[in-house]
Structure 1
Amino acid sequence: MRDIAPASQDGTPIAPDAPRVPLLLRLEAMGRTFAMQSPTRFWAMRLAIVLMLDGLIMLGSFALSRLILSDLAMPQTLYDPWFMALFVGGNMAVLFAIGTYRQSWRFVSIGDALSLAISLLVSGWLIWMITAGLIAPQKMMRGVMTIFLTVDVPLTVALLLAARSVRRELFKHVRSARMRRTVQARRRILLLGELDWARVMADLVPTDASGLEIVGVISFDGHDRRLNLGGLPILGSPDMLPQIVADLDRAGKRPVSLVVQESSERLDRQQILRIASLAEQENLVVSRFRNPWTSAQPLNGAMHGDRMAIEKMPLAELLGRPEITVQHSYLERVVTGARILVTGAGGTIGGELVRQLAYYAPVEIVLLDHSEYNLYAIEMEAREKFPHVRFHAELCSIRQRPALWQVFERRRPEIVFHAAALKHVPMVEANPCAGVHTNVLGTRNVADAVCEFEARAMIQVSTDKAVNPVGLMGATKRLGELYCQALDLIGSCDPDSPRFLTVRFGNVLGSSGSLIPLFQQQLANGKPLTVTHPDIERFFMTVQEAVLLILQSSARALETDSERGTIFVLDMGEPVKIVEIARRVIRMAGLRPEIDVPIKFIGLRPGEKLFEELFDTSEDKIESAIPGIFEAMPSPIPLELLVEGFGQLARLIAAGDADELVRLTHEMVAASASSRWAEILRRLAAESSDTLLMMPRPVESQAVLPSAPPLPRDVA
């Protein structure tokens, strides 16, 4: 007979041409539909069925206990049907009263079994005492009844738990069968964590539409090796991972991912790094179960609806350095109630700056960007997430000095975060006029506006490519650093002059057009992953860390009036080889490097260095009071020379002389290596302070402090 297609969860019939559905699946679907349509009737029917089954089990165990003790002289009452009915009914009433039938017994524990046994033992004795004392007076025969209950209670508990275990396994079988019909590909995974956690996962994963299949458990110490946990073998410790994977591979159960219990107290960062190294050798992805309460989607889209899913351990967690700790007090005092302007607000760094700044409730944030779509996107997101903060979107390029002046005059920002820049090395190398115009003259425009409209500070976002630059992009960013350093140093004699702070860091993971998105796009298109050189290395950090660095260092500097002219640099640990990042991306997709996905070396691009640095050869590395951050003491170029050089750059841009523009840019950067201007300025500032202390105290209304020289007013 042809199977009839079942109804779906909402009661609608499935199409006639749907594949056959096993009887158990049809019954399970009908039961779920009935439970949703009539929950009260369903609960009543379920309770009636459970009570009927438990009654039959208790009657059977009662009769079996009598049979087992047939050689023992027992009271005749035990053979009376009315006593059997009373005994079973009394036991069920006690179980009902203590809430046994209001809890789910699909996940029974030893404590539940003990509670059931004690309840049955007590109720059995009470029933016999009442019967022998009141209903049918007779000898108590305590010894005989103790023996009888000693046999009957464990037997009853065993049969009750066995029935529930059968129901549980049947339920798991039905759910697994349903999952197999909806999920075609199964991904095999290994669990690494505490055994209690692994036991819970072993129960949840097989009944979820996640497409995951657990093939074994690895404990931290491996002491329980060769034992089973919820039907899963405990295979050993993390150090045995190569052998474990080899054994599973021979059995046709090779896993693609190692899922780690990240919440365990026994798993620190060094252990994660060691485990990640072993996993990479075996082409395993180091993953974790995704938090179902987060809104972010996994990289491979593994989360669908309310299903369980695994996601890769964030790459930043495997970089081997501690995370930045937030010092909220400094940020609150600097940002709360202030007027903020963020250039490049639609970019990766600028957008994250807006999000984190808004958390500290500034009175308003001005979003400035030359891209209409990026500006629109960040404004809509910011207004939705932070309705208590005023946002103003200004469509403007930092190259447009008059337009930028109008924005500053209209908004009067107190603190400016300068994140606008052209950052892609090959793009700037191919378009030198655009690169210099934005990164050099655009930075000058923002800095001059800060001085002109008396903002409190400008915080410039820089890059490790500005250190000993070989390419034009790095050189342009270095000139931007030099200009801000010169302005910061020249204000040493005037405590009211604006601060110009520069924050330098390495590559940002996941930023637009950066390494990881490029690899992911190549992988999605089925192309080889391209790496410029086998030995090329880079420093990496997350965008959240980068912005925390910017905010923390700038807030500390403004609050403590730190020494002028320094550059803040994150202690980023050791650089990471790009080819290793490529291999990780491939493994995170469940594939094998060089086997499933090739890695192609294409040679260094114009302006690209093999190794990046965080400190220039002309800079002194200084320990900072901010945890995880260093300071670089620069050797800048005098401001008047920079003003003159920037004027020449502007004329070369207007003339379109790219070759001369590149030459002059690199020449200006090279000049900073031999500069002793910072040392001279510090000595002059100290002498000026000593002179002021030695002078008689003037009348307050006539006090005059030395001020910085007037800034240039030229127009690019």
Structure 2
Amino acid sequence: MAASPRILLNLGLDAVLGALAVPVAAWLASPGAALGAAPAHAAAAVAAGAALLLLAGLPFGLPRQYWRYAGPKEMLAVAGAAAIAAGLFAAGAAAIGLPPSPNAAFPAIHALVLAALLAGARGAARRRHVRPETAGTPTALLVGNGDAADLFMRALDRQRAPEFRVLGILARHARQAGRRIQGQAILGTVEEAESVLEQLRAAGRTPSLIVLADPDLQGEALERLLDAADRQGVALRRAPRPTALDPAARPGESGSRRIELRPVAIEDLLDRPQVPLDREGMARLIQGRRVLVTGAGGTIGGELARQVAALGPASLTLLDHGEYALYQIDLELAETHPAVTRRAVLADVRDAARMSRLIAEIRPDLVFHAAALKHVPMVENDPLEGLQTNAQGTRIVADAARAAGCRVMVFISTDKAVNPTSVMGASKRLAEMYCQGLDVAARQSGHGMRCVTVRFGNVLGSTGSVVPLFRRQLERGGPLTVTHPDMRRYFMTVREAVGLVLQASVVGAEDAEDRPPELRDGGIFVLDMGQPVKIVDLARRMIRLAGLRPEEDVDIRFTGLRPGEKLFEEMFHGQEPPRPTRFSGLMVATPRTADPALIGRAIDEVSAAARAGQTEVALAQLGRLVPEFDHNADGVAPHG
């Protein structure tokens, strides 16, 4: 294959520099002395210097270098080639008895001159292509560790028309302060962001934006950085992940991808450090087992399906009553886990005959029951539907799974089941009681299906939740609607929630001495959700993340509590105080339970009233079964 013009040009320029290095080194080694005994000897020495450099440069890739993008790696190659070329030249001169200089230090001087000429030429080429800094070019303060910052700046340098230039770096660790990456100074740490911004402002160098090159900067550290940026009036944007950048693309080619900065997601602010999970235990529980996930088209059910598929089940059955949602998760898993035996089933968990036949056919070892009607106002509008799905549907799935010899059923519950004020919360509490009863009976008898109940709060970004609503309202220019200024909710990312659900499944399914003793008495798992978040603060934060100002660019409007809503969600009520476990992220509670046969008959009575359209009768029965149910049917906020 013919060499490209650039390679031929590199060879020619390196040959000239190799030839020039010989007389320069000879003069430096012995000023005033002639190079060689005769002009022919001098010409031969110059030609040999050129040829030997080209030869030494081949293994180091000197002909293939892009001079304008020369960095530390290229300079190391230059030094290696210079040293070898000087060594070969000295050895050859000694072999023929014609040393170019009487100075014994000539080989070292020759190597240094070669390296200086080669590096200088490449440095000059790089500097020639450095874009001049103009007053109109936006500037950015880069946040990231060494590798992330280096990759980002290399990718930025390859852009034909970059939209900004980096003026400094904020590092994650104090020990990096004062160093330089790609010529840019590390001005301080992320914790020192506000003082660094103040210093830049005082010097008239306030950056136009802060770019997050570190994908791992999340949670409280990111929130503090955002607060500092807000106070200084500087926008914050996140860079693409390092794998999406083009630091190694062929420089100068038009195919280099444009660096697309994006706003910081609210999930990044609320994300918490990953708790250690028993991955081996999860694999032991799921690998080679038949698994059924109900509600697989929903947010929790879909993530359960993803994480279960990654653990290598013998088969995975996805069940949902929504055709499109089921199609989406089935298609995704076909692409991401094609080796997993998979089946998508359209079915309603309230159809007892259908569920019994289906589960008897599948014979699942594990059932993750995530199917539910969870939107509080919607269930308030149609309470009988909520009772049928959340209470009776859970009983139907549990009974069918137990009859088919299922080993473990995991029931996904909600913080709204604690001191419920909504039909949705009370119906989930009734389902909890039935699952608790089945689990107690199985543990006491030593055989039968274990029922592991896991209770947690809101999942960020789930269908029908507040974050997607706020995003949609922001896209329309506002206002953002909040029901009450004091409304608070617990939040968790779906990845974290499902990881802890699987952890609870391992703990609840296996008998071991370190398991919480409360499980024998109907204990249920409660995820550690951290501190509750005020919804109005969440709205203001999302407005700022969009680069706008709350109450100025986008209004926040309070609409009043909706039927069934509470101002504050609780993870426990007074008679079931939280108890920590030895498993990070998991707590255990022991709410009231009863004989599953009695609860089962009561659920049947509620369901019969619901099927007959007797709303008042069904809700009255629900109130007797869940005495803490204080129905806020009118959406009235508590006083005091």
Common fold by TM > 0.5? yes
The residue identity in structure 2 corresponding to 1:107 is A
**Residue among 37, 44, 48 paired with 1:90:** 48
Alignment correspondent of 1:390: 341
Alignment correspondent of 2:209: 256
Q: What CA deviation, in whole Å up to 9, does each residue of 1:216-275 have, x standing for no partner?
A: 212456788788654535433334322433455674753333414357xxx897755654
Deviation at 1:435, TM superposition (A): 1.5
The residue identity in structure 1 corresponding to 2:56 is I
Deviation at 1:628, TM superposition (A): 2.2
Alignment correspondent of 1:75: 34
The 10-residue stretch of structure 1 (512-521 or 595-604) with the greater mean CA deviation from structure 2 = 595-604
Tell me if structure 2 keeps the 8 A contact 1:215–1:253: no
In structure 2, the CA distance between the partners of 1:60 and 1:505, relative to structure 1 (3 Å rule), is same
Alignment correspondent of 1:457: 408
Deviation at 1:423, TM superposition (A): 0.9
Tell me if structure 1 keeps the 8 A contact 2:14–2:118: yes
Structure 1, unmatched stretches of 5+, are: 1-39, 178-184, 295-303, 674-716
Q: What CA deviation, in whole Å up to 9, does each residue of 1:161-199 have, x standing for no partner?
A: 23222323445559x99xxxxxxx987532234456534
Matched position secondary structure for 2:510:
helix
Matched position secondary structure for 2:578:
strand
Is 1:232 the equivalent of 2:184? yes
Partners in 2 of 1:559 and 1:60 — Cα distance?
77
Is 1:340 the equivalent of 2:291? yes
Matched position secondary structure for 1:421:
coil
Tell me if structure 1 keeps the 8 A contact 2:171–2:190: yes
Alignment correspondent of 2:592: 635
In structure 2, the CA distance between the partners of 1:41 and 1:170, relative to structure 1 (3 Å rule), is farther
Tell me if structure 1 keeps the 8 A contact 2:56–2:82: no
Matched position secondary structure for 1:98:
helix
The 10-residue stretch of structure 1 (630-639 or 115-124) with the greater mean CA deviation from structure 2 = 115-124
Tell me if structure 1 keeps the 8 A contact 2:26–2:101: no
Alignment correspondent of 2:429: 478
Matched position secondary structure for 1:74:
coil
Tell me if structure 1 keeps the 8 A contact 2:420–2:629: no
The residue identity in structure 2 corresponding to 1:626 is F
**Residue among 551, 572, 575 paired with 2:532:** 575
In structure 2, the CA distance between the partners of 1:194 and 1:422, relative to structure 1 (3 Å rule), is closer
Deviation at 1:103, TM superposition (A): 5.2
Deviation at 1:476, TM superposition (A): 1.5
Matched position secondary structure for 1:191:
strand
In structure 2, the CA distance between the partners of 1:305 and 1:551, relative to structure 1 (3 Å rule), is farther
Is 1:440 the equivalent of 2:398? no
Deviation at 1:632, TM superposition (A): 0.7
**Residue among 502, 512, 530 paired with 1:551:** 502
* Count of aligned positions: 604
Partners in 2 of 1:140 and 1:291 — Cα distance?
51
Partners in 1 of 2:138 and 2:398 — Cα distance?
54
Alignment correspondent of 1:107: 70
The residue identity in structure 2 corresponding to 1:256 is L
Is 1:365 the equivalent of 2:324? no
Tell me if structure 1 keeps the 8 A contact 2:376–2:423: yes
Deviation at 1:648, TM superposition (A): 4.1
Alignment correspondent of 1:167: 125
Is 1:409 the equivalent of 2:363? no
Deviation at 1:345, TM superposition (A): 1.6
Alignment correspondent of 2:578: 621
Summarize the alignment of residues 37-186 of structure 1 with structure 2, pairs less than 5 Å apart.
40-43=1-4, 45-57=5-17, 72-75=31-34, 77=36, 82-99=40-57, 100=60, 101-102=62-63, 104=65, 105=67, 106-109=69-72, 111-112=76-77, 114-115=79-80, 118-119=83-84, 121-122=86-87, 125=90, 129=94, 133-134=97-98, 142-143=102-103, 150=109, 157-171=115-129, 173=131
**Residue among 435, 439, 445 paired with 1:494:** 445
Q: What CA deviation, in whole Å up to 9, does each residue of 1:470-508 have, x standing for no partner?
A: 222211211111121223234454222322221111111
Larger Rg: 1
Partners in 2 of 1:194 and 1:668 — Cα distance?
56
Partners in 1 of 2:471 and 2:285 — Cα distance?
39
In structure 2, the CA distance between the partners of 1:55 and 1:640, relative to structure 1 (3 Å rule), is closer
Could you tell me the percent identity over the aligned residues?
A: 35
The 10-residue stretch of structure 1 (649-658 or 390-399) with the greater mean CA deviation from structure 2 = 649-658
In structure 2, the CA distance between the partners of 1:84 and 1:664, relative to structure 1 (3 Å rule), is farther
Partners in 2 of 1:386 and 1:341 — Cα distance?
16
Partners in 2 of 1:609 and 1:558 — Cα distance?
33
Partners in 2 of 1:357 and 1:651 — Cα distance?
35
Partners in 2 of 1:360 and 1:322 — Cα distance?
22
The 10-residue stretch of structure 1 (217-226 or 200-209) with the greater mean CA deviation from structure 2 = 217-226
In structure 2, the CA distance between the partners of 1:523 and 1:271, relative to structure 1 (3 Å rule), is closer
Alignment correspondent of 1:21: none
The residue identity in structure 1 corresponding to 2:361 is R
Matched position secondary structure for 1:205:
helix
Partners in 2 of 1:427 and 1:574 — Cα distance?
27
In structure 2, the CA distance between the partners of 1:187 and 1:429, relative to structure 1 (3 Å rule), is farther
Tell me if structure 1 keeps the 8 A contact 2:377–2:563: yes
**Residue among 186, 203, 217 paired with 2:169:** 217
Deviation at 1:116, TM superposition (A): 5.2
Is 1:611 the equivalent of 2:571? no
Partners in 1 of 2:424 and 2:266 — Cα distance?
27
Deviation at 1:95, TM superposition (A): 1.8
Partners in 2 of 1:338 and 1:228 — Cα distance?
53
The residue identity in structure 2 corresponding to 1:74 is A
Alignment correspondent of 2:471: 520
Partners in 1 of 2:447 and 2:87 — Cα distance?
85
The 10-residue stretch of structure 1 (656-665 or 618-627) with the greater mean CA deviation from structure 2 = 656-665
Partners in 2 of 1:187 and 1:463 — Cα distance?
47
Is 1:510 the equivalent of 2:470? no
Partners in 1 of 2:178 and 2:443 — Cα distance?
71
Partners in 2 of 1:88 and 1:268 — Cα distance?
59
Q: What CA deviation, in whole Å up to 9, does each residue of 1:440-484 have, x standing for no partner?
A: 222222223234444333211001111111222211211111121
Q: What CA deviation, in whole Å up to 9, does each residue of 1:128-151 have, x standing for no partner?
A: 6567x35xxxx97624x858985x
The residue identity in structure 1 corresponding to 2:12 is M
Matched position secondary structure for 1:417:
strand
Partners in 2 of 1:452 and 1:59 — Cα distance?
89
**Residue among 644, 647, 654 paired with 2:611:** 654
Matched position secondary structure for 1:413:
coil
Deviation at 1:569, TM superposition (A): 1.1
In structure 2, the CA distance between the partners of 1:353 and 1:186, relative to structure 1 (3 Å rule), is farther
Give the structure-1-normalised TM-score: 0.73
Structure 2, unmatched stretches of 5+, are: 246-254, 513-518, 631-640
Deviation at 1:63, TM superposition (A): 7.0
In structure 2, the CA distance between the partners of 1:219 and 1:189, relative to structure 1 (3 Å rule), is same
Partners in 2 of 1:73 and 1:167 — Cα distance?
32
Deviation at 1:397, TM superposition (A): 1.0
**Residue among 328, 331, 349 paired with 2:300:** 349
The residue identity in structure 2 corresponding to 1:427 is M
The 10-residue stretch of structure 1 (553-562 or 588-597) with the greater mean CA deviation from structure 2 = 588-597
**Residue among 176, 194, 199 paired with 1:242:** 194
In structure 2, the CA distance between the partners of 1:67 and 1:599, relative to structure 1 (3 Å rule), is farther
Give the structure-2-normalised TM-score: 0.81
Q: What CA deviation, in whole Å up to 9, does each residue of 1:523-545 have, x standing for no partner?
A: 22332333333443222222222
In structure 2, the CA distance between the partners of 1:414 and 1:50, relative to structure 1 (3 Å rule), is closer
